[in-house]
Amino acid sequence: MIDAREAPAVDREPRERDEFDVVVVGGGLAGALFAHELAREGRIVALVERDEMPRYRPYGWLPVSVVTALADAGLGDDLSARYLASPSARVLCARTGRSRVFAFDERTQPTRPVSAAHAPRADLDLLLARRARERGATVFTATRALDPRPREGSGYALFVRAHDGRTHEIETRFLVDASGESRWMSARASTPAEREGLDGAVMETHVSFAQPNAGAPAGSADIVSFAHGAVWMLPLRGGVHALGAAVTAPWAAQRRAAEGPEDFFDRTVRDATVLRAALSKSRRLHPVSTRVPVATRVERRAGPGWIAIGAAGGTVDPLLGMDAALAVLSVRHGLAVARASLDDGAEAEAEQRARFDAVMAEAEGRCERVARAVYRGAFADALLATDLSRADRAAIRAILRCELEGEMAEAGEAFARERW
């Protein structure tokens, strides 16, 4: 992992006026990857992150689609050198004790090995920010983006507050909101629309001294489905596991008056009886991080000269790594919007914005249907069914790989409709 002492400090104080082709607000997976890709093309890019890095973020599963996208961005060697590869996921049912391992790739001689990766997100965000800076991006940390103001003609003047409290103005031809759930820009542009369901809490932490997964390949993720949600356990390098729980709203309402987050988390995890032995000697390394999944979807993900990517554009909860997959998908299609704005004019940008909105709405709908099935407790029953055909298994791999476009995504969606 990257030493915190190597964190990307503010490259330089913003001058009274700095000018960039693109300013990206938010240094998470989506924002840092977006900045990295534009800087790799030779664009003049700034990445503005409000926190110091690294930031504590416990979740660690990068599904196959994300690993593939990062490898295509030239980051494959970083992933393989730093993070634990995961060839499969094991699905367990807490009610019946049944389990099944699903390999992400069942080809006997794959030309390109297919695997997920278990990467602490704090470390991954820091790695991507450093790589973006090495490509030429300017990285400002501990710097908060304030109000954007449209410039005459095109672009934005953006006020930012540096770590020393001083406010500066920078200018950009194109603005990217990658601020996550705070929706720094996208919340100004539209009224969020209510999303039904998925109202439960997501709780995450890291633990040590968890036992290896018995009966599953090395590096396999464990996903446990039970009556009031799901629990996941992901092995990381160094003997640490990422442990998380997604609980339904009715179960979250069972939290006792005097029960703190850690106690409630422990009680939730204890219900995943099939993990009891693995966690019997485990110890939490960090406080439990509790958040409510994004309960809204913004009506507009983009406008003239700006775009919202990652969770700033609307998302579903992080079970199965769907949030990471949506973030990377939004980067891939969002880059086309930025390029059109910078190179081809307003009409081309508008066409790309429409395509971006359509692609993301379709992908989010697919993810939401799968997540709802998980919360209903139907996930394990469907995946552990004894009558799975070869096509069914391929569809399940598409879901677990987080393939959100193309024939594999359509097959996964069809399986979800039929089974759930």
- What tens digit of pLDDT does each residue of 244-280 get? 888 877 788 888 888 888 899 998 888 888 888 889 8
Take residue 189 and report the two structure tokens written for it. Answer: 């542009």
Count CB-CB contacts under 10 A for residue 406. 9
pLDDT at 193: 65
- What tens digit of pLDDT does each residue of 196-228 get? 555 567 888 999 999 877 788 888 989 888 777
Take residue 269 and report the two structure tokens written for it. Answer: 């995890």
Handedness of CA 319, 323, 328, 329 (dihedral sign): positive
Kindly provide the residue ranges of all beta strands, DSSP E only, lying in 2-56, ordered along the sequence: 17-25, 45-48
What does residue 240 show for φ and ψ, rounded to 5 degrees? Answer: -110, 145
Where the chain has pLDDT below 70, the residues are 1-17, 107-113, 191-200, 292-297, 316-319, 375
Calculate the average pLDDT of the chain: 85
Rounded to whole angstroms, what are the CA distances from 247 to 229, 290, 324, 346? 4, 11, 19, 44
- Convert 240-257 to b/e letters by CB count within 10 Å (16 or more is b): bbbbbbbbbeebbeebee
| Element (DSSP H or E) covering residue 284 | strand 283-284
Question: How far apart, in whole angstroms, are the C-alpha atoms of residue 329 and residue 339?
Answer: 16
| Element (DSSP H or E) covering residue 87 | none
Handedness of CA 52, 63, 42, 31 (dihedral sign): negative
pTM: 0.91
Helices (H), 244-290: 249-252, 261-270
Beta bridge partners of 244: 204, 232
Question: How far apart, in whole angstroms, are the C-alpha atoms of residue 48 and residue 46?
Answer: 6
Question: How far apart, in whole angstroms, are the C-alpha atoms of residue 262 and residue 286?
Answer: 10
Answer yes or no: are the C-beta atoms of 276 and 270 closer than 8 Å: yes
